[in-house]
Amino acid sequence: MSATSDYKISFTTFHNVIDNELTETATTRHTVCPSNEEPLWESPVSTDEDVNHAVDAANRAFRSWSKLSQDTRAEYLIKFADAVEANKQDFIDLLGKEVGKPPQAAAYEMLFVTGLAREIPKLRLKEEKPVDDADRTAIVRYVPLGVGVGIVPWNFPLVLGFGKLLSALLAGNTFIWKPSPYSPYSALKLAELGTKVFPPGVFQALSGEDTLGPLLTAHPGVAKISFTGSVETGKKVMAACASTLKRITLELGGNDAAIVCEDVDIDSVVAKVAFLAFVHVGQICMNIKRIYVHESIYDKFLTALVVTTKQFKIGDHTDPEAVFGPVQNRMQHEKLQKFYSQISKEGWKTALGGEPGPTQEKGFFMPPTIIDNPPEDSSIVVDEPFGPIVPVLKWSNEEDVIKRANASKLGLGASVWSKDVSRAQKMAEQLEAGSIWVNTHFELAPNVPFGGHKESGLGMEWGQVGLEGWCNPQAYWVKH
């Protein structure tokens, strides 16, 4: 099968995918579109039995899938990339309804997806020979683990699972995708598309309530959990995996600092920093979440930040001009309203926004909000709001601002902005985070790993490091 039309699927019904069958469940559930709160489609509520069937099928499939060469597995992945691209516009529309993303934002997620789809299959696991002489050879090689499970959050329902899926399969594992209960739809369609490409049991998807994750983390037939989500749940996943010593990768929360030096071109840096703080309404692990601005340019920077932020159009999933949409779900909307209500209680000064209520009659919209120089120990600085609210803080001493940036328990990303690149590099190299950037932030590529330090996670995804994370290293000795 190769013609684009052979890969087209309909986006109107949603099933679990077990052993290449679209399966029904006795109970179903639905979410609502975050833009207008209208109900979306029914989706499966998986049971213990569904989990057992999927894990059994994945273990059966592993026997032959793991024996294929990397090149053959990569060929399957390239066909899968074609299949995804054949349905690209449907995925963009679906992400719009499921996450509330305006078309531009949904297309941005699909850009990441297609980038991963084309680039990950080019990677290869490599062998090394640290000892190779007349007497003996030692090879260090990477062997697949077995059944991998990807547990995925609701902010980027496709891209955050997609990197896990492709790396797991390329390395020779089979894979079960568990989407968030808040955004089950696009992953189920992706797995349905997988039935047109992969042998049974290689790529499956199970959807359900929050009780489903623990069934998978406890299952003795699962070899690895790759989890993306909150720090709190990540700790539970790690504890659950200890019982069978499953391999884990944890991609958790972030509280990324951006340090802006006094020599920057204010207008051009503000344009970038404003976008990176508010893109996807602050619901990205790697949004800029604390903006430290040198005191000598603080007032000018803050004024420009407010002006620029006001220019981003907010709209729903049908608005082609909108840059930002609503918050993805009611739970997060309510959490943010509580967060916003602290503004008056704590006496934080707002430079923009701040009203806790919705800005539109229907939908989970929240106003972009900028807090002007709050105390360093306030919750807006210490905690991850995961919404469109960001503090701007003053600094005057390099050593001190680096200390403040590093004071967080989290260490996902951090950036330094300066015209003096070597000074910025010296500062950036002292930041405690999985990704550090100079004059940019949230810069990613499929062949570059990303992940968190400290409580932001364990291990990395994407790139060679991500691929090796789906394997056990093996020492292989041959005596001549």
- Contacting residues toward ligand NAD, per CB under 6 A: 151-155, 160, 178, 180-181, 210, 213-214, 217, 228-230, 233, 236-237, 251-254, 285, 384, 386, 412, 452, 457
Nearest distance, CB of residue 71 and ligand NAD, angstroms: 29
Taking a C-beta distance cutoff of 8 angstroms, is the pair 159, 109 a contact?
yes
Q: How many angstroms separate the Cα of 346 from the Cα of each of 95, 242, 340, 356, 365?
A: 36, 41, 10, 14, 23
Q: What angle do CA 50, 56, 230 make, to 5 degrees?
A: 60
Which of 316, 307, 230, 319 is CA-nearest to residue 270? 307
Nearest distance, CB of residue 255 and ligand NAD, angstroms: 9
Nearest distance, CB of residue 209 and ligand NAD, angstroms: 8
* Residue of closest CB approach to ligand NAD: 213
Supply φ then ψ for residue 88, to 5 degrees. -55, -50
Residues facing residue 248 across a β-bridge: 225
Nearest distance, CB of residue 72 and ligand NAD, angstroms: 30
Q: Which is nearer to ligand NAD, 197 or 257 (CB)?
A: 257
Residues facing residue 438 across a β-bridge: 416
Q: Kindly provide the residue ranges of all beta strands, DSSP E only, lying in 238-372, ordered along the sequence.
A: 247-251, 256-260, 288-294, 349-352, 369-372
Residue in 98, 251, 384, 468 annotated catalytic: 251
Taking a C-beta distance cutoff of 8 angstroms, is the pair 120, 164 a contact?
no
Taking a C-beta distance cutoff of 8 angstroms, is the pair 153, 177 a contact?
no
Longest dimension (CA), the chain: 78
Q: What is the DSSP letter of 203?
A: E
Neighbours of 242 (CB within 10 A): 11
Nearest distance, CB of residue 284 and ligand NAD, angstroms: 7
Taking a C-beta distance cutoff of 8 angstroms, is the pair 366, 359 a contact?
yes
Q: Which is nearer to ligand NAD, 297 or 412 (CB)?
A: 412
Which of 216, 102, 214 is CA-nearest to residue 204? 216
Neighbours of 29 (CB within 10 A): 14
Nearest distance, CB of residue 374 and ligand NAD, angstroms: 20
Neighbours of 356 (CB within 10 A): 17
Neighbours of 313 (CB within 10 A): 13
- Parallel, antiparallel, or unpaired: how do β-strands 457-458 and 247-251 relate? antiparallel
Q: Which is nearer to ligand NAD, 302 or 414 (CB)?
A: 414
One-letter amino acid of 324: F
Q: Does the active-site annotation cover 251?
A: yes
3-state secondary structure of 36: coil
Nearest distance, CB of residue 337 and ligand NAD, angstroms: 16
Tokens of 166: 């492709």
Nearest distance, CB of residue 140 and ligand NAD, angstroms: 28
Surface-to-core class of residue 451, CB atoms within 10 Å of its CB (0-12 exposed, 13-18 middle, 19+ buried): buried
Taking a C-beta distance cutoff of 8 angstroms, is the pair 246, 257 a contact?
no
Distance CA 345, CA 388 (A): 19
Q: Does the active-site annotation cover 209?
A: no
Which of 411, 89, 102, 437 is CA-nearest to residue 280? 102
- Chain centroid to CA 146: how far? 23
Nearest distance, CB of residue 211 and ligand NAD, angstroms: 8
Residue in 285, 384, 455, 468 annotated catalytic: 285
Residues acting as catalytic residues? 251, 285
